[in-house]
Every structure is written in C-alpha cells, then in structure tokens.
C-alpha cells in the first residue's frame, strides 16, 4: 500500500521519525532502518510504512516482518577509552576506522557525546539519550573536561600566562585554558582543563603560539573519569 507517510505527534507534541524509532529499539543505524522500510518489512497499524513516516509512539503499533516490535524500556550510557587512529563518525575517513568498529553490533546505534579527532585518545561518552547528550555538550552546562597534552617543545612562561590568564585568539574567538604541569621539571607535558568544546580548540590554541600538540588524551568529562580503563574498552555508566 502506498500513499502519504503517516505523521503523528507524541505526548510532548514532537513528531517521531520512524527510522529513528526503529534504530533505537532495534539497535541499528537509521540507514539500516530506512533500508528495512524501503524493503516493505515495516508496518504502522497494519499499513506498509513509507520512507519518511512519523509515528505517535504511545498509540501507533509498529511491526517488523509482521511481528510487533519489542520496545526497549531504557536508555543506554557507556564510556569508551578511544585509541589514537579512530574517528568518531559513522563512516571511515580514508583508512581510519571508526569508534563504532570497537563496539558490538547491539551498541552501534549509540551516538558519541563529545568527539575527539583521529589523532587524539581518551574518554568518549556514548548514549542514545538526546537529553543526556545535550546536558553534556551544550555550552550553557559548562561541563569541565581534562586532558593530558604533550607539546613538541617546552612552553614558554609568557605563552603559559597568555593561555591561562588572558586567552589566545584562534579565529572563532578567544580561547582560555587551565594549565598545570604534569611533572614539575617538564614544560612540554601539561594537564589542560576547559569547559568549552570548540573544534580542535586545544590544538589550535597552542598552534596560534607556534606549538604542535604531539599527544592529546582526555581523562575526564564532567563527573566521568577513565581511571585505569584500558584503550579500546568500554564500560556501562549511569546518567
């Protein structure tokens, strides 16, 4: 049966896309959900679903291959220790693998909360809870993040003062970072604290003063900490 996609609203007045609904409850990607819909494997109230359909979650009945969809009852929250060389996107970037290749299939519907670039490592949060992601990443919530950073050369005292006390212009505004030596006798290795989340902000801040970040590892994100968690592993956390 063809026709206009079914559209409805949930009790909060927001329309729920069918592919998003399927992705969450089946633990698949939205693309895979769209493929199922296009193959006519999904129905809404016993009508074959169309691409782009929207549903009223507490009223419409969704079936897959003729069977009522078993609904998940809670959101999931994990933290991953991302190794260097992995990207936080769904698709590979060149030969670089994605963090989702580290996860079992049933976890690949999760979204990364606070990204790290390919050459960085450390704490990544994963969840299917959009409100949690917003609380952790929106600038208004001021979530503190801590990194271990190594530079290609010793940081000059004047530059340390500029970064920590006055801030450095990096093209999209002034960047100000908290700096503490990781070792008293080493001016190349620093603990960096920040509550913003601009793209590659730490790398750009040091680059503006003539330094190259050779290592960047996130250890803390809000109240979450890696501790002794090994690279490439994930653990379940609470929200």
Helix (H) or strand (E) holding 55, with range, is strand 54-55
How many angstroms separate the CA atoms of 1 and 223, rounded? Answer: 50
Rama region for 85: left / alpha / beta (φ>0; ψ in -120 to 50; rest): left
Identify the CA nearest to 20 among candidates 65, 43, 52: 52
- The closest alpha carbon to 233, from 159, 137, 116, 122, belongs to 122
Cα–Cα–Cα angle for 227, 238, 235, rounded to 5 degrees: 45
Closest CA to 150 of 226, 84, 232, 227: 84
Q: Give the HSE-up count for residue 47: Cα atoms under 13 Å, Cβ half-sphere.
A: 14
Specify whether 119 is catalytic: no
Cα–Cα distance measured from residue 109 to residue 80, given in angstroms and rounded to the nearest whole number: 15
Catalytic residue among 117, 172, 184, 185: 117
Which residues are designated catalytic?
A: 117
């Amino acid at each position: 049966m063809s026709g206009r996609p079914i559209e409805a609203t949930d009790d909060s007045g927001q329309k729920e896309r069918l592919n998003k609904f399927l992705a969450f409850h089946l633990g698949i990607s939205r693309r895979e959900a769209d493929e199922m819909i296009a193959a006519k494997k999904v129905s809404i109230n016993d009508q074959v679903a169309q691409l782009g359909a929207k549903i009223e979650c507490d009223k419409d009945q969704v079936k897959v291959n003729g069977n009522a969809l078993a609904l998940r009852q809670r959101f999931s929250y994990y933290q991953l220790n991302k190794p260097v060389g992995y990207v936080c996107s769904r698709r590979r970037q060149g030969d670089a693998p994605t963090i989702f290749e580290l996860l079992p299939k049933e976890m690949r519907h999760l979204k990364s909360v606070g990204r790290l670039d390919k050459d960085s490592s450390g704490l990544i949060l994963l969840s299917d809870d959009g409100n949690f992601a917003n609380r952790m990443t929106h600038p208004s919530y001021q979530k503190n993040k801590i990194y271990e950073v190594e530079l290609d050369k010793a940081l000059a005292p004047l530059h340390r003062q500029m970064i920590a006390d006055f801030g450095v212009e990096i093209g999209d505004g002034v960047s100000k970072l908290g700096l503490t030596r990781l070792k008293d006798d080493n001016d190349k290795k620093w603990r960096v604290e920040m509550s913003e989340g601009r793209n590659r902000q730490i790398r750009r801040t040091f680059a503006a003063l003539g330094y190259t970040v050779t290592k960047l590892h996130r250890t803390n994100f809000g109240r979450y900490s890696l501790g002794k968690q090994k690279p490439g592993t994930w653990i379940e956390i609470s929200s």
